[in-house]
Amino acid sequence: MKNVLFDEQCELCEAARFTHWYYEDEVCWVADCEACSTPMVVWKSHGTTPETDEVNWMLARLTEAGVCRFGHGVGSLDRIMRQIPDHFHAHFRDPHWLSRRWTEAPSQYSGVGGERQLLT
């Protein structure tokens, strides 16, 4: 196992489990983003330079979560790191993500994988 960097000020390092988690392994986790409620993959090490094969692995797991959430052929990867530019993460956004965040209840954590449950 390589060095995993951790920054205690960083929200993504904190990895709080509030929303639905689609997937987790030693490289990354995939969960609904607390801000935009779309699937987001987060590297488990604080930094912006995962290996190419790790990037490919993470984007593949994120795409799986996107397909699981929205169906085949809906939405696309968004690799721009707007809020937290110093920790590698990526979103999978469907075309309605901007409006849906106001109209749909956020998901809640119910273990990794399994059925996606909304906050009631």
Interface ranges with Zn ion (CB under 5 A) = 7, 10, 12-13, 33, 35-36, 46, 87
Of the pair 12, 30, the CB lying nearest Zn ion is at 12
113 bridge partner residues:
none
Of the pair 46, 61, the CB lying nearest Zn ion is at 46
Helix H, strand E, coil C: the string for 18-66 is CCCEEEECCCEEEEECCCCCCEEEEECCCCCCCCHHHHHHHHHHHHHHH
Report the distance separating Cα 37 and Cα 104, nearest Å: 9
CB of 87 to Zn ion, least distance (A): 3
Of the pair 12, 28, the CB lying nearest Zn ion is at 12
CB of 4 to Zn ion, least distance (A): 10
CB of 28 to Zn ion, least distance (A): 12
The one-character DSSP state at 120 is -
CB of 85 to Zn ion, least distance (A): 11
Whether 59 and 41 have beta carbons less than 8 Å apart is answered as yes
Of the pair 13, 30, the CB lying nearest Zn ion is at 13
